[in-house]
Amino acid sequence: MEYQLDKFQYGLEKLNIQLSENKLKKFLTFYEMLIEKNKVMNLTAITEFQDVVEKHFLDSLSLAGSADLNQKFKVLDLGTGAGFPGIPLKIAFPELELVLMDSLNKRIVFLQEVISELNLDKIKAVHGRAEEMARKKEYREQFDFCLSRAVANLSSLSEYCIPFVKQGGMFISYKSGEIEEEIKQAEKAVHLLGGEIVDVDKFILTGTDFSRSFIKIRKKQRTPNAYPRKAGTPAKNPIQ
């Protein structure tokens, strides 16, 4: 199938990302797998190619305009869903060592198929809830970056994500719309969990009028053992 790639190429150029023919092919294969699997399970409401390019691929990759990703960082994509932002970042920046984590096993099975089909290495998809996985030695405080595009308030997200980040590392939350109030309400949780909000990078997504933000939280000290609380609690009862 022929794809109109102008919008994608323009967005990549703006982010200063150069994709080889092989990497570009991987994006197209990923798109086709996503659309095919979406017929039998709910992965995304966004299915038109140009929309996926904008709202999934370029949105995921927009982190490159805000952080240096050309290093062998260990990255966790928490609540990865259909593989965003993890898969696009891995294709564009193969040096990243990635773990994709989601609480729905069907999504993880799909992502394992994607990883195999695209022949990606130093990446794995694991099934589990953040509240339980963050207590495991192989994941707790092991990552340079924890990324999340998941839709949840920043206080709950911080409790899910910060325990995975090593001291000196960073939790980066992908957000849209007005976020000032949400940031204010999350300050206590961020501090309690060992983090500090160091930057809020606001931008307009390339080629669109969508306002997006990266909330960057630096891990200053170890997360107390009491966190994260048991499954379901951070969402129902965020730290205030």
| pLDDT tens per residue, range 173-213 | 999 988 999 999 999 999 999 999 999 999 999 878 889 99
- ∠ CA 144-149-155, nearest 5°, is 80
pLDDT at 150: 84
Distance CA 193, CA 178 (A): 24
What does the mean pLDDT of the chain come to?
Answer: 96
Percent of the chain at pLDDT > 70 equals: 100
Distance CA 223, CA 12 (A): 36
Distance CA 35, CA 47 (A): 6
Query: Which candidate, 57, 70, 72, places its Cα nearest to that of 14?
Result: 57
Domains and CATH numbers, the chain: 6-236 (3.40.50.150)
Q: Are strands 123-127 and 143-148 parallel, antiparallel or unpaired?
A: unpaired
| Length reported for the chain | 240
CB-based contacts of 186, cutoff 8 Å, min separation 6: 153, 154, 155, 158, 197
**pTM of the complete model:** 0.96
**Residue 185 is encoded by which pair of tokens?**
């309400």
The letter for the amino acid at 193 is L
Query: Which candidate, 3, 7, 2, 1, places its Cα nearest to that of 206?
Result: 7
**pLDDT tier at 151 (50, 70, 90 boundaries)?**
confident
Per-residue pLDDT reduced to its tens digit, 10-52 = 999 999 999 999 999 999 999 999 999 999 999 999 999 999 9
Distance CA 217, CA 208 (A): 26
**pLDDT tier at 81 (50, 70, 90 boundaries)?**
very high
Q: Are strands 123-127 and 97-102 parallel, antiparallel or unpaired?
A: parallel
pLDDT at 174: 97
Cis peptide before 238 (omega within 30 of 0): no
**pLDDT tier at 1 (50, 70, 90 boundaries)?**
confident
**pLDDT tier at 153 (50, 70, 90 boundaries)?**
very high
pLDDT at 79: 97
